[in-house]
Amino acid sequence: MICGGELRGLALSACLVLGCGGSEEPAPTLEDDVIALQASVAADTCPGALEDVDRAVEEDKPVRAARLLRSAGIPAAARQVARLRDTPAHTSEGIGLRQEGVTLYEARRRALAAYADVLERGVVEDFALVVALDGQRQADAALGAYLSRLEELRPLSVEPAPSAADDSQASGAQAPER
């Protein structure tokens, strides 16, 4: 005779072996991973924070630009690194893409810190500035290539804005003849 505890154990074993009714969710795909990575990338606030830095540099205020980098640009870059690191990825390719992104965004954060170090000196030495800007340029180029690769894996669709003719046809009005 099977008692209640054994019966529950057998039922649990049967569920584990055979599956318990219900619908199985499909296994995550690389596209799912890329969608999550693209969402994380889209949330990057660092480029906006760098607009004020660029303006301060153009106005020949390097110390102010360094302060802006330290207070807004570098923290935004660090948040982006953390955001991407926390992005779920389930396929081996997705995990690799996430790690690559983390590495590239971390390189951007380091390049911004080096740029801030140069700007903090006030009067900017030409060679030091060239090196700092080149590091930032290389980080941006690598990020651009990464974003392009994500787009190749899953193009971001942009719906074209409806034209006036589309609007008038949708409302039942006739488009003007020419």
User: Can you tell me the mean pLDDT for 119-146?
Assistant: 86
Query: Which residues fall within 8 angstroms of residue 37, CB to CB, at 6 or more apart?
Result: 84, 87, 89, 94, 97, 98, 101, 150
Residue 176 has pLDDT above 50, yes or no: no
Domain assignments of the chain as residue spans, ordered by start:
28-153
Given a cut of 90, whether residue 43 has pLDDT beyond it is yes
- Beta-carbon contacts of 68 under 8 Å, excluding residues fewer than 6 positions away, are 49, 52, 53, 56
Q: What is the pLDDT of residue 10?
A: 47
> In the chain, what are the helix, strand and coil shares in percent, each to the nearest 5?
70, 0, 30
Q: What is the pLDDT of residues 45-101, one digit of tens each?
A: 999 999 999 999 889 899 999 999 999 999 999 999 999 999 999 999 999 999 999
pTM score above 0.75: no
Alpha-carbon distance of 68 to 168, in angstroms, equals: 49
Neighbours of 2 (CB within 10 A): 8
